[in-house]
Amino acid sequence: MAETTHADFDALSTGSLRRRITAKAIVYALLTVFALFYLMPIVIILANTLRPLDDIVRTGFIAWPADPSLSHWAEAWSTFCIGGTCEGVSRYFKNSLAMAIPATIISTMLGLINGYILSKWRFRGADLLFGLITLGVFLPPQMTLLPWAWVLGNVGLSNTISGLILVHVVQGVSFTTLFCRNYFLAIPDDLIKAARIDGAGFWRIFRRIVLPLSPPIVIVAVIWQFTGIWNEFLFGTIFTSGDKQPITAAIVAFSGSGTGERHYNVEAAAVIMAALPPLFIYLVGGKYFVRGLTSGAVK
């Protein structure tokens, strides 16, 4: 894909020198304040992962680690006791991966195929169907809890990771279909016609013409789906229990247990572990995410 460069428009580069300096100073000061505001919680949590528990209890939550130690990270990963089992969050982390990766892949692929059909192989009622599918985008997930409980019970997927995958795929297809269909509208119909005359059928056109044009929207869908599914805890808490829970549901259990003392430092490390994969995905693909959401990309 061709790299496009924009000459930045600098609104502060005109006017007298004094005016320019004052304007820049104000802008940077404001930006710094906001950046600090957003970064502060992360810094505090990170600092707490390195502090011994008695230090936190004694001096409170906001303090710099006097005697930093990484031991709480190891404990959080492999030996910390959650809900009666003492295996750390590693099991739940793997559960989350086992749920989010397949659910992301399947829902993205289904979205691509749906979008392809709804934009390039239109049929009577295609718009109505599209409207119904994207209705899912606007339905609050709480509304679907009861039906899902019934479905999972009947197909025998209660308290399984496969059950969560099914839920997330179906819930996610609304989004991926919306993204892909709207993106594919920008692909000229003439390309499809030319390919049909060239003897290509439904799948060959999809594979050879449409998919090669799709990386920007695939990245958008993958980031959106992965972060959404990973961070989701409502379905996880309600449809799974014990060692089948995703990491978000397990972490919710920290606050719920109530009994015994709180291991703030270990819990902080666990929370950061739970936040890492979406952060990683965003850092890797974020550049394309913004571009995919904003650009036509098909030329």
Which residue lies nearer to other proteins by CB, 34 or 121? 121
Long-range pairs for 57-65: beta carbons < 8 A, 24 or more residues apart:
57/264, 61/264
Looking at the Cβ atoms of 19 and 207, the one nearer to other proteins is 207
Query: Binding of other proteins at residue 2 (CB under 8 A)?
Result: yes
Q: Pick the binder of other proteins from 129, 185, 213, 234 (CB under 8 A).
A: 213
Q: How many residues of this chain interact with other proteins, rule: CB under 8 A?
A: 19
Q: Smallest distance from the beta carbon of 219 to other proteins, in angstroms?
A: 16
* Residue pointed to by tokens 């496969």: 162
* Distance of closest approach, residue 212 Cβ to other proteins, in angstroms: 4
* Smallest gap from residue 127 Cβ to other proteins (A): 15
Q: In three state form, how does the secondary structure of 123-172 look?
A: CCCHHHHHHHHHHHHHCCHHHHHHHHHHHHHHHCCCCCHHHHHHHHHHHH
Q: Name the residue nearer to other proteins (CB basis): 170 or 213.
A: 213
Single-letter residue type at 223: I
The three-state secondary structure class of 284 is helix
> Toward other proteins, which CB reaches closer, 185 or 191?
191
| Contacts of residue 142, Cβ cutoff 8 Å, sequence gap at least 6 | 234
For other proteins, the closer of residues 151 and 191 by Cβ is: 191
Smallest distance from other proteins to CB 210, Å = 10
Show contacts with other proteins in window 269-298 (CB under 8 A): 298
| 51 burial via Cβ count (<10 Å: 0-12, 13-18, 19+) | buried
> Taking phi first (over 0 means left), then psi (-120 to 50 degrees means alpha), and beta for anything else, what does residue 255 get?
alpha
What are the distances in angstroms from CA 217 to CA 24, 133, 180, 181, 295? 36, 18, 6, 10, 10
Sole binder of other proteins in the list 212, 256, 260, 296 (CB under 8 A): 212
Complex with other proteins: residue 19 or 196, whichever CB lies closer: 196
Task: Decide whether 199 or 256 has the Cβ nearer to other proteins.
Answer: 199
Identity of the residue, 97 or 186, whose beta carbon is nearer to other proteins in the bound complex: 186
Compute how many other C-beta atoms are within 10 angstroms of the C-beta atom of residue 98.
15
Q: Does 74 bind other proteins (CB under 8 A)?
A: no
- Which run of H or of E encompasses 276? helix 264-294
Min dist. Cβ of residue 195 to other proteins (A): 7
Calpha distance 239→163 (Å, rounded): 8
Residue 205 Cβ, how far from other proteins at the closest point, in Å? 10
Query: Which parts of 181-210 interact with other proteins (CB under 8 A)?
Result: 188, 190-191, 193-200, 204, 208-209
Is residue 124 close enough to count as binding other proteins by CB under 8 A?
Answer: no
Q: How far is the CB of 193 from other proteins (least distance, A)?
A: 5
Among 6, 18, 58, 299, binds other proteins (CB under 8 A): 299
Please say whether the beta carbons of 264 and 61 come within 8 A: yes
Q: Which residue has 């793997």 as its token pair? A: 94
Q: Where does this chain bind other proteins (CB under 8 A)?
A: 2, 188, 190-191, 193-200, 204, 208-209, 212-213, 298-299
